[in-house]
Amino acid sequence: MELLELVEDRSSGYGERLRRDKQGGGYKMTASTFDEIGRVLREHQHFAILGHVRPDGDALGSQLALALSLQQLGKDVRVWNEDGMLEKYSFLPRAELLTKPPATAIDVDVAIALDTAIQNRLGTALAAVGSAKIWVNIDHHSSNPGYGDLVIVDVSAPATGEIIFRLIRNQGLPLDHDIAENLYAAISTDTGSFQYPKTSARTFEIATELVRAGGLNVGKISQQLYENYPRRRLELLRELLRTMRFSEGGRVASFSLTLRTAADLGVLPEDNEGLIDHLRAVRGVIVAVFFEELADGKARVSMRSKDEAVDVCAICQKFGGGGHTLAAGARIRGNLVEVEERVLKEVGDKLEVYQRPSS
Ligand code: AMP
Ligand code: MN
Ligand code: MN
């Protein structure tokens, strides 16, 4: 219990603090309280829980965790993602609950978007909600404009899973082994195994609480998350490294994937998640960029920064995308080579005004 109080002070709920920050000026996000969201969860029956297209562990784990908790309250819950459950996350407890959205729209009482910076990144899952009395938006992306009726966008959270955990604890919602494992997977993946800068004491406290409450086997979960890739992922990495280039005096590293190479290797979209980390891990590299040719005449850009002074979310927003300061993305119309040039020019311009701290 002591630990719980550390994690969530019930007397001044997290949402309240956000609201105060907002009123005090400067805090750019709209905010609802956990109490407001908890009330909506208790008072309604039919829910749809949605996450962003090309989902990651945070989106899928958060969706499943909240769905399982609501199911235990006797609620009717649909869990939709445009891409359905990914092969690599199919080990998540009760993964079968998460499906592709139905072709015919369904009316629900409450639709909840998780980990989704802009509403249209819900893709076909958005269209599958015929009507909803209330839209809830729970996320941690700095580019989230705060769409929806009830909104918690906490940019200090390293994962949406962390916010879901705090909501569950603050509102006394059910938390069992399956819910804990989904939340642990969400937090582990979005923090890069508890490495990225937003990983805080609170993150470790929550992880402790999840491991304890769920009786989790951390080694086994980590093996399923990080040591269970299909061989083609490494073959993909080999091809990507052939296209690797460095610019701006070694401060920018990039590689790219053509549709042709993807087809030759038989890779799935999910296979490239995390490969960009190899570029970022090089000494001297500040910005890593991954370009992927898409079938719809666009290219997908993934960007990572090692320095808060170089905000890749701002760069991606220029191209209609978004994300976080240190990890962002966009989908840009144009052929691969053209998009590479435009984006690398923009990154170069940003780095020009950026002063490395004198060492
Ligand atoms: P990724 O490079 O795909 O792992 O994405 C990095 C971060 O940026 C994630 O948090 C994404 O949700 C976000 N992001 C990626 N692509 C987009 C996009 N087209 N629009 C808004 N946010 C994005
Ligand atoms: Mn995500
Ligand atoms: Mn996330």
User: What is the Å distance from ligand 3's center to 264 Cα?
Assistant: 31
pTM over 0.85: yes
pLDDT confidence bin for 20, thresholds 50/70/90: very low
How does pLDDT run across 221-243, given as a tens digit for each residue? 999 999 999 999 999 999 999 99
Instruction: Count Cα atoms within 13 angstroms, Cβ side, for 178.
Output: 18
Task: List domains and CATH numbers for the chain.
Answer: 2-226 (3.90.1640.10), 231-353 (3.10.310.30)
Gap between the terminal Cα atoms of the chain: 45
Pairwise CA distance, residues 154 & 62, whole Å: 15
Q: Is the CB–ligand 1 distance for residue 198 below 6 Å?
A: no
How does pLDDT run across 241-299, given as a tens digit for each residue? 999 999 999 999 999 999 999 999 999 999 999 999 999 999 999 999 999 999 999 99
DSSP assignment of 276-327:
THHHHTSTT--EEEEEEE-TTSEEEEEEEES-TTS-HHHHHHHTT-EE-SSE
Average pLDDT score over the chain:
91
Pairwise CA distance, residues 221 & 83, whole Å: 22
Confirm if 275 and 267 have CB atoms less than 8 A apart.
Answer: no
User: What is the Å distance from ligand 2's center to 121 Cα?
Assistant: 10
Nearest CA to ligand 1 atom 7: 328
How does pLDDT run across 48-88, given as a tens digit for each residue? 999 999 999 999 999 999 999 999 999 999 999 999 999 99
Q: Is the CB–ligand 1 distance for residue 158 below 6 Å?
A: no
Cα pseudo-dihedral 346, 352, 357, 358, rounded to 10 = 150
DSSP character at residue 343: H
pLDDT at 1 over 70: no
How does pLDDT run across 135-189, given as a tens digit for each residue? 999 999 999 999 999 999 999 999 999 999 999 999 999 999 999 999 999 999 9
User: What is the Å distance from ligand 1's center to 331 Cα?
Assistant: 9
Confirm if 253 and 244 have CB atoms less than 8 A apart.
Answer: yes
pLDDT average, residue stretch 313-319: 98
DSSP assignment of 203-229:
HHHHHHHHHHHHT--HHHHHHHHHS--
Q: How many CB atoms lie within 10 A of CB 241?
A: 12
- The residues with which 302 forms a beta bridge, in sequence order, are 290, 329
H or E segment and range at residue 168: helix 160-170
Pairwise CA distance, residues 52 & 115, whole Å: 7
Q: Is the CB–ligand 1 distance for residue 117 below 6 Å?
A: yes
**Residue 257's pLDDT is what?**
98
How does pLDDT run across 296-311, given as a tens digit for each residue? 999 999 999 999 999 9
H or E segment and range at residue 143: none
Phi, psi for residue 155 in degrees, rounded to 5: -75, -10
